Structure 1
Amino acid sequence: MAISTLATAGVAGAQEMPVPTQVHSEFAGPYVGIKLGENWSNAKGVVNTATRARTFFGAMAGYGFDVGPFVLGPEVFADLHNGSTTGRDAGVDARIGLPINRIMPYARIGFTGISPDTRFHGGLGVEYAVSEDVHVGLEWAADTSHTNGTKRNNNSLTVGLQYYFQ
């Protein structure tokens, strides 16, 4: 009888145990987005081009993983700034951010390419969670190319809109 009572109490207690929920930041998970920006570029060397500005559209997709207090993950992007000294660019970056409530400042580093070569790419930004699924961001990114006797510099400032699949 005592064993039966203990077993019944144990089963009842197990049924009443709360199920732990997975807690993650609003910046974790898969996302896609679009961006609009201004690109400033120049070239010096065999090709000489004074600094010029181009308005451009772009797109991105990525995944953020919660790693302690940080969000870390890959992001692929395309910047369609035709007319800049490097033309259209696409690449992949690693992005690391520190969520603070609904705001996440972040840094990114990776590679970009297509024209004229593959090169390091980096930047800084801040993202704001308007809602659980919709975020807006402001970002500065830069890269430099040294190819065929010409040094090309790219700087871009973009405003983006991302959708997170929560």
Structure 2
Amino acid sequence: MASPIGHSLAGYFIFLGVCKNPRFLQACSSKKLIITAIIIANLPDIDFILGYLFYNDFSAIHRQFTHSFFVGFFVCIIIYFFLRVYNKIPYYFLVWLLGLYFSHILLDMLAYDANFPTGVQCFFPFTSHYFAFPISILGGLTFTGGIIQLSNFLTVLQEMFVIPLLSLIVLFLFKNIRKHEKSKN
């Protein structure tokens, strides 16, 4: 699984993808958007707290239902309507929230997972199987022996290099797709 720092970096880079859009900045300030991005990008890991509250074990339900695209969709809809009541945010804000939440699931699927079963339950409630990409491009955090260890430090350093690189690749692809669509019209 990726670290909270890695998920926060992903949230920040997704924020950078929309911060140049004046319609987003009309709805919320940059500061509120950054805070929202970091919170939503880390939200699936609320299962650590739930596991401790209900099972007295932080990892009891980690990588299960909160790491599901289906659950993420409903959580983002609830957050969207809550924010819409508070502030008149546009409909495409929901797409942004979904991108933030789903980035967490995808990063965890790309990270090395030493715990069995490996991966996340990304298709819950349709199946309880765990899924991960066949090739891990991120190291994974390990809690065996405590959180403070060299392998976790190296994982965070790797995330600080790989996640910005992934973000640049995605941004490049989206710009080329948009440019291609404009040239067709």
Please confirm whether the aligned pair reaches a TM-score higher than 0.5, indicating the same fold: no
Ranked by relative contact order (alpha carbons within 8 Å, sequence separation 6 or more), the top structure is 2
Of Structure 1 and Structure 2, the greater helix share is in 2
Of Structure 1 and Structure 2, the greater strand share is in 1
